[in-house]
Structure 1
């Protein structure tokens, strides 16, 4: 199992009403693209959240949250949340909402030709 299928189902259920969602296998896990932009994903058993870089430092203080360092370099605006930070529906929804809020402001990555 490359990524947690139960977590994938939780994310699918929470964003099923959002238009223009695409799932992509990426980084050894699963990424949910919203409006063509990386929004939220899963790497192994953790949820990867793309959030506003201006709130990054505050958010990594929360239970179960850390800076994403997938490439061995910390990436501001990308955090990983483990199970301890999203056990309740309210906690889970908090992270999903942060991702969706930032998505409208996020820049798209360059399209492949």
Structure 2
């Protein structure tokens, strides 16, 4: 499945003006990197792939339609898959993208 180009455009709108922003195709989607770190991606599985503070993983996956991202059969703390159902409005999308931005801003330049 290809990533949702409309969702990618909406993510771009949320990230407009973010310093050191780059885009890169990865994990079957379109990733948005800040200072070299993946913050959010329009996932090739639909919805978002989101990088967050690993310490917040349990509280964030308590929300409906949010789960740990699975890679090679392993669920990973700090990486979430957020379904389309919870990013339908601009406010919802901005909230989730904000989680990714908050975390990658704490990381050293990559």
- Structure 2 length as normaliser, TM-score? 0.91
Q: Which moved more, 1:100-109 or 1:45-54?
A: 100-109
- Residues 49 and 102 of structure 1: CA distance in aligned 2, closer, same or farther (over 3 Å): same
- The answer for the alignment partner of 1:46 in structure 2 is 47
| Aligned residue number for residue 24 of structure 2 | 24
By how many angstroms is 1:71 displaced?
2.1
Q: Map Cα deviations across residues 47-91 of structure 1 (whole Å, 9 max, x no partner).
A: 011001111000001121110003211110000101111122222
Q: Aligned ranges for residues 1-80 of structure 1 at < 5 Å?
A: 2-44=2-44, 45-80=46-81
Higher RCO, 1 or 2 (CA under 8 Å, sep at least 6)? 2
User: What are structure 1's unaligned runs of at least 5 residues?
Assistant: none
Q: Which moved more, 1:2-11 or 1:80-89?
A: 80-89
Query: Structure 2 regions of 5+ residues with no counterpart?
Result: none
Aligned length in residues: 109
**RMSD, matched Cα:** 1.5
Local SS of the residue matching 1:57: helix
Indicate the SS of the match to 2:93. Answer: helix
Aligned CA distance change for structure 1 residues 9 and 65 (closer, same or farther; 3 Å): same
Q: Which SS does the other structure have where 1:48 is aligned?
A: strand
SS in 1 for 2:24: strand
| Native 8 Å contact 1:62 1:85 kept in 2 | no
